[in-house]
Structure 1
Amino acid sequence: MTWLRKPWVGPLAFVVVAFVAFSLPPYLTGDRAAARVQSDWGPHYPLLVVHVVCASIAIITCVVQIWPWFRTRFPAWHRRIGRVYVIAGVLPAGLAGLVIGWMTPFGPVAMVSNVLMASLWLLFTVLAWRAALKRQFRDHRKWMIRSFALTVSIISNRIWGAVAFVLLADSVPEAQLPYLIAGISTWAGWTIPLLISQWWLERKPRRKARPQVEQRETVPA
């Protein structure tokens, strides 16, 4: 089966579903105390819920969108799910992310990272959609890969946050630790996946070696 030639699809889908299953439920209860990020600013919690719910839609639909087998086998569904990814996922999640990123309680370093990431996420996604409407599918693929890198960067963010905590917990004052971890994880969380995606786009594919034709020695008559 051709879809087996892309062995990364299954593990990626598993990680995404597991991440959403773990991260989303606390934001569906309406309990502010269950939120991962706490803020005294009134609209912060409802905007955070919008961001988390819509980002969950984006990350799940995005995995389907980049699956080559599904994309080529079901082009009509690829377009429909793409609209869901943009309209119900990235746009509301990104706009809400701009506001809550600006109002983050974790200091100016995390604030700049969150706002910049949300702005690029919206920009890359709009450019990908615009290229698809113009049937510029090569450009659409490039912008979509960049958008995908930022969509799944939330998973990378959590990984870098855990690494930073393990490395710094015993050497940084407790009052400063959340700000330092937030600064490291927010920046590393999206810049590293974006750099990897750019490397992927600019890499030169390997050329298949041509079979060597065996030359036979000829003996002159």
Structure 2
Amino acid sequence: MSTVVQRPEVERPPVRWWRRPWVGPLALVAVMFVVYSLPPYLSLDPALSRVPVSEGMEVHYPLLVGHVLFGTVAILSCCFQVWPAFRARYPRAHRLIGRAYVFAGVLPAAVLAVAVAVFAPFGPVAVASNLTLATVWFGCTVAGWRAGRARRFGDHRKWMLRSFVLTISTMTNRVWSPLWAILLAPQLPTTYGGNMTYFISTIAGLSTWLGWVVPLLVCQWWLDRRPRRARGATR
């Protein structure tokens, strides 16, 4: 008769912040983005909007302001949610901020994003991207919240990481816009016939799709890669 000896579990110390060097830069970029993008909308003056407001659609600007405000909550709160040391040391704060992220951030921002996208003057390609993004963002966040409520924390983490990269996609698509503007500028007088409307719509369409699809694919690749690394380490 064999006896199975169970080794006592060793409590791992929390990972120090300096072992996650991306946390500080992420928070800094998020704060800088909010400081730059939020103030014009606090004035409630449509003339100061960084996004063109559709003429004849008075409801567009209030919806846009609401989307920006709720989106700001999502951007700032997600920085704490993906910080491993903060989650481990302050689990109650993680849960409270998580509720704010879901119910005062992503969900209302995603719903308003649908209406804002319909009125946006950036062409059908950008509209399709923003509508798809809002739907996927909403769905990933709800799936993550439900997994957390069911105490399926592995699934909760995966869905919330997807939600996180979609949240910060509003920042990453700002990287694509100037890049495409530089690359396509020589074609403005030829391909676009000097038409700035078509030129801007092309840049907006490419930037909006790449701004969230690329980060989401990278996130999924990373999630799929980790189990294989873990299995290899146990051999």
Q: Report the TM-score when normalising by structure 1.
A: 0.91
1:162, CA displacement in angstroms? 1.1
Report the equivalent of 2:58.
42
Report the equivalent of 2:175.
159
What letter is aligned with 1:103? F
Report the equivalent of 2:94.
78
1:205, CA displacement in angstroms? 2.6
Deviation per residue, 1:83-121 (Å, 9 max, x gap): 000111001110000111122211111111000000000
Report the equivalent of 2:22.
8
Quick one: distance in 1 between partners of 2:222 and 2:68?
28
Say yes or no: does 1:146 pair with 2:162: yes
Report the equivalent of 1:31.
45
Report the equivalent of 1:103.
119
Residue 178 of structure 1 is aligned with which of 200, 206, 225? 200
What letter is aligned with 1:178? I
Quick one: distance in 2 between partners of 1:19 and 1:44?
22
What letter is aligned with 2:93? W
1:175, CA displacement in angstroms? 3.0
Percent of aligned positions that are identical: 51
Quick one: distance in 2 between partners of 1:205 and 1:4?
23
Query: After TM superposition, what 4+ stretches of structure 1 lie above 6 angstroms from structure 2?
Result: none
**SS of equivalent to 2:58:** coil
**SS of equivalent to 2:222:** helix
Quick one: distance in 2 between partners of 1:74 and 1:123?
27
Query: Superposition RMSD on alpha carbons, in Å?
Result: 1.5
Quick one: distance in 2 between partners of 1:171 and 1:127?
43
1:170, CA displacement in angstroms? 3.1
What letter is aligned with 1:15? V
Q: Report the TM-score when normalising by structure 2.
A: 0.86
1:208, CA displacement in angstroms? 5.5
Matched pairs, number: 210
Report the equivalent of 2:5.
none
**SS of equivalent to 2:187:** coil
What letter is aligned with 2:153? F
Quick one: distance in 2 between partners of 1:22 and 1:37?
13
Quick one: distance in 2 between partners of 1:147 and 1:137?
15
